[in-house]
C-alpha cells in the first residue's frame, strides 16, 4: 500500500524519517491507507515554509483572499461525494450524515469568504490634530490542530478564518482521519496559493502537535480536543507566550422543566446525543429532568434511543455508525461500567450490537443511564460517546446549582413552554452557549469555550474571524 505524502512548502513530501502509519476503517477494523509519519524535522520545514510565505500572503488584499476561499468552497462542493465517502470509510460516519457534513463545511467557507470583507478596525478619538485608529492585522503563523470527531468540518472551521485574515498555516489533521486530512490538502493544493501558505503534516498529537505548539516561529495555536490535551498545549506554548484559540471538553447540562414539550425534547436531544455515535463536544452530557416528568421523559428518550438504526456507515438507512477506534470504545465502556458500579441503572443499551456483520467494527448500542446522581463520575466527566446520563431534580435552585457545579462550561440547554423563564435560567447558566427549546449551530453563530475549562476564544461568525487577528494601534500627528 503506497504511503500518502504530506503537503509542505507547495510540494508533496514523504516524512524525512521515511516512517509511516496506517489508518483504520472503524466499521470493519481493516486498514484503509498508509500515511507519512511526521517528525520534528518535518514540522520545522512546514513552519519555515509558512513563515517565508507570510509577508506575501498577509499583503494580499482582503478581496483576493475572499475570492480564494470562495474557490475553495466551490471545490469542496465539486468533490463532495468523494469527500463524504472517504469520511464514511475512515471515520465511520453514516454516509447520509457525511454528505451533510461536507455541505456544511462548504457553507462555512463561503460564509467566511463573504463576512471577512466586513472585518474592520475602529477610530480612536484623542485630540485635535491627531488621527488614531485600531487596525486588525494577521497574527502570523498559525498551527491548526484539528480533532477526529467531525474531521472535514473542523479543518474548514480553522483554516478558513486563518487564511481570510492573512495568516499562513501549518495544519495537523487527526491521526485516525489522516487520509481525510490529505484529501483536504489536495483541494488546498489546487488553489495554487503562494508556496508555504498552507502546509499539512500528519502524525500523532503527542509528537507533531507538541512540536507545533512549542515551536518558536508559531504565533497562534488553534486546537479542538480534550481539556487534558489543551493543558499540555498551553504548557508547550507558554515559553513563547502564543495566542491560543481552543475549544476543549464539555459536560453539557440540559434541563427539562415540568412544562416542557417532552416529545420534542426527547426527539431533538436523542438526535444530538446519538448522532456521530455521541462524538460531539456539543452533545448533551447531563439531562436534569424534573421529578414530576422524569419517568415520562425517560420513556420517550429510551424509545428514541431504541429507534436509532446502528449499522454499516455506507448504508443510507444507518443513523449511527461505530465509534472512532477500539480504544475509544473501551473508554466509553469503562465509563458505563463506572456508572453502574456507582449505582446508576441501564434503561437501554450499554452493550455491543449482536449482529454478526458488526462484530469486527467498534460499535456500541445507544445507551441511556438513569438513577444517575450528581456526584457520580459519569455525571461529571466527559464520556464523548452514545451515552445519555439522566438525573432527577426537584427545584430550580437545585438544578441551577448542580448544572453550574462543573469544571466545564461549553454549552447548556433549557426546555420549557415558558420562554421568559427559559431566558431567565439561560442567564444563570455558566456556559458559552445556551439553547432554549432548541439545539443548533450555523456558521453565523460563534461557538467555543471561554467558560472555565472548556477553552479559550470562539470559532465561527465574525467573532471567530477576529480571534485570528491582532489589534494594532496607529497614531498619527497630522498638524
Averaged confidence pLDDT in the chain: 96
Q: Say if strands 455-456 and 198-200 run parallel, antiparallel, or are unpaired.
A: unpaired
Judged against a pLDDT cut of 80, whether residue 450 lies above it is answered with no
- Per-residue confidence (pLDDT) for residue 402, from 0 to 100: 98
* Domain annotation covers residue 18: yes
Per-residue pLDDT at 345: 98
Q: Could you tell me if residue 192 is inside a domain?
A: yes
Looking at 281, 335, 348, 411, which residue is catalytic?
A: 281
CATH code of 329's domain? 3.40.309.10
Same domain, 201 and 327: no
pLDDT at 436: 98
Q: Which of 309-323, 329-343, 446-460 has the lowest mean pLDDT?
A: 446-460
How confident is the model at residue 178, as a pLDDT?
Answer: 95
Set 87, 142, 158, 458: catalytic member: 158
In a shared domain, residues 415 and 467: no
281 is catalytic: yes
* pLDDT tens for each residue of 14-59: 999 999 999 999 999 999 999 999 999 999 999 999 999 999 999 9
Residue 33, in any domain of the structure: yes
Q: Assess if residue 36 is contained within a domain.
A: yes
Q: Quick check: is 449 in a domain?
A: no
Q: What percent of the chain has pLDDT over 70?
A: 100
Cell (9 digits) for 376: 457520580
What's the burial of 58, exposed, middle or buried (CB within 10 Å: 0-12/13-18/19+)?
middle
**Has 444 been annotated as catalytic?**
no
Same domain, 205 and 293: no
Same domain, 193 and 86: yes
Domain span at residue 55 reads 3-248+454-475
In-domain check, residue 385: yes
Q: Does the annotation count 389 as an active-site position?
A: no
pLDDT band at 108 (very low <50, low <70, confident <90, very high): very high
Q: What torsion do the CA atoms of 74, 75, 81, 84 make, to the nearest 10 degrees? A: -100
The confidence score (pLDDT) of residue 343 equals 98
Regarding whether 271 and 259 lie in a shared domain, the answer is yes
Residue 316 included in any domain? yes
Q: How many domains does the chain have?
A: 2
Which pLDDT does position 87 carry in this prediction?
Answer: 96
Could you tell me which of 260, 152, 166, 229 has the C-alpha nearest to residue 453?
A: 229
Mean pLDDT of the 7-19 span: 97
Confidence of residue 448 (pLDDT cuts 50, 70, 90): confident
Per-residue pLDDT tens over the stretch 273-315: 999 999 999 999 899 999 999 999 999 999 999 999 999 999 9
Query: Residues 293, 221: one domain?
Result: no
471 with 423, same domain: the answer is no
Per-residue pLDDT averaged across 311-328, rounded? 97
Looking at the fold, whether 321 and 428 belong to one and the same domain comes out as yes
Please tell me whether residues 34 and 179 are part of one structural domain.
yes
Do 94 and 66 belong to one domain?
yes
pLDDT of 121 higher than 90: no
Q: Annotated catalytic, 90? A: no
The answer, yes or no, to whether residue 394 has pLDDT greater than 90, is yes
Percentage of the chain modeled with pLDDT above 90: 97
Give the chain's count of helices (H) and strands (E).
Answer: 15, 21
Q: Identify the CATH number of the domain in which residue 108 sits.
A: 3.40.605.10
Mean pLDDT across 326-340: 98
The pLDDT, as a whole number, for residue 449 is 72
Catalytic residue among 87, 247, 333, 467: 247
Enter the DSSP assignment of 2.
P
pTM over 0.85: yes
Same domain, 186 and 266: no
Catalytic residue among 90, 333, 365, 459: 459
Contact between 47 and 219 (Cβ < 8 Å)? no
Amino acid at each position: 500500500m503506497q504511503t500518502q505524502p504530506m503537503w509542505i512548502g507547495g510540494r508533496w513530501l514523504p516524512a524525512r524519517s521515511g516512517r509511516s502509519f496506517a489508518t483504520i476503517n472503524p466499521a470493519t477494523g481493516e486498514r484503509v491507507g498508509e500515511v507519512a509519519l511526521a517528525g520534528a524535522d518535518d514540522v520545522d520545514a512546514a513552519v519555515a515554509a509558512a513563515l517565508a510565505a507570510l509577508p506575501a500572503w498577509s499583503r494580499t488584499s482582503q478581496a483576493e483572499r475572499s475570492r480564494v476561499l470562495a474557490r475553495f468552497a466551490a471545490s469542496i462542493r465539486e468533490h463532495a461525494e468523494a469527500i463524504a465517502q472517504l469520511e464514511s470509510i475512515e471515520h465511520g460516519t453514516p454516509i447520509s450524515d457525511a454528505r451533510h457534513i461536507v455541505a456544511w463545511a462548504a457553507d462555512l467557507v463561503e460564509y467566511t469568504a463573504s463576512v471577512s470583507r466586513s472585518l474592520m478596525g475602529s477610530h480612536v478619538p484623542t485630540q485635535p490634530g491627531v488621527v488614531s485608529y485600531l487596525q486588525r492585522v494577521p497574527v502570523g503563523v498559525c498551527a491548526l490542530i484539528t480533532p477526529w470527531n467531525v474531521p472535514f468540518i473542523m479543518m474548514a472551521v480553522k483554516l478558513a478564518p486563518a487564511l481570510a485574515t492573512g495568516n499562513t498555516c501549518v495544519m495537523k489533521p487527526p491521526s485516525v482521519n489522516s487520509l481525510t486530512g490529505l484529501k483536504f490538502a489536495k483541494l488546498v493544493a489546487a488553489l495554487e496559493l503562494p508556496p508555504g501558505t498552507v502546509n499539512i503534516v500528519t502524525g500523532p498529537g503527542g509528537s507533531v502537535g507538541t512540536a507545533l505548539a512549542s515551536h518558536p516561529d508559531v504565533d497562534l495555536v488553534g486546537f479542538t480536543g480534550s481539556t487534558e490535551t489543551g493543558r499540555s498545549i498551553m504548557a508547550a506554548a507558554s515559553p513563547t507566550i502564543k495566542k491560543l484559540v481552543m475549544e476543549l471538553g464539555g459536560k453539557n447540562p440540559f434541563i427539562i422543566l415540568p412544562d416542557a414539550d417532552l416529545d420534542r425534547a426527547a426527539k431533538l436531544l436523542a438526535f444530538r446525543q446519538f448522532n456521530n455515535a455521541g462524538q460531539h463536544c456539543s452533545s448533551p452530557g447531563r439531562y436534569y429532568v424534573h421529578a414530576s416528568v422524569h419517568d415520562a421523559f425517560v420513556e420517550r428518550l429510551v424509545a428514541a434511543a431504541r429507534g436509532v438504526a446502528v449499522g454499516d456507515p455506507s448504508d443510507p438507512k444507518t443513523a449511527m455508525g461505530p465509534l472512532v477506534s477500539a480504544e475509544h470504545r473501551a473508554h466509553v465502556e469503562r465509563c458505563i461500567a463506572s456508572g453502574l458500579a456507582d449505582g446508576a441503572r441501564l434503561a437501554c443499551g450499554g452493550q455491543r450490537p449482536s449482529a454478526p456483520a458488526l462484530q469486527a467494527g467498534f460499535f456500541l448500542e445507544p445507551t441511556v443511564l438513569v438513577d444517575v446522581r450528581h456526584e457520580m463520575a459519569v455525571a461529571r466527566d466527559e464520556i464523548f460517546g452514545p451515552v445519555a446520563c439522566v438525573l432527577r431534580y426537584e427545584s430550580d435552585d437545585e438544578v441551577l446549582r448542580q448544572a453550574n457545579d462543573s469544571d466545564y462550561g461549553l454549552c447548556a440547554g433549557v426546555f420549557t413552554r415558558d420562554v421568559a423563564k427559559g431566558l431567565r435560567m439561560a442567564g444563570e447558566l455558566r456556559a458559552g452557549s445556551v439553547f432554549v427549546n432548541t439545539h443548533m449551530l450555523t456558521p453565523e453563530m460563534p461557538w467555543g469555550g471561554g467558560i472555565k475549562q472548556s477553552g479559550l476564544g470562539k470559532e465561527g461568525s465574525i467573532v471567530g474571524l477576529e480571534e485570528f487577528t491582532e489589534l494594532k494601534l496607529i497614531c498619527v500627528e497630522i498638524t
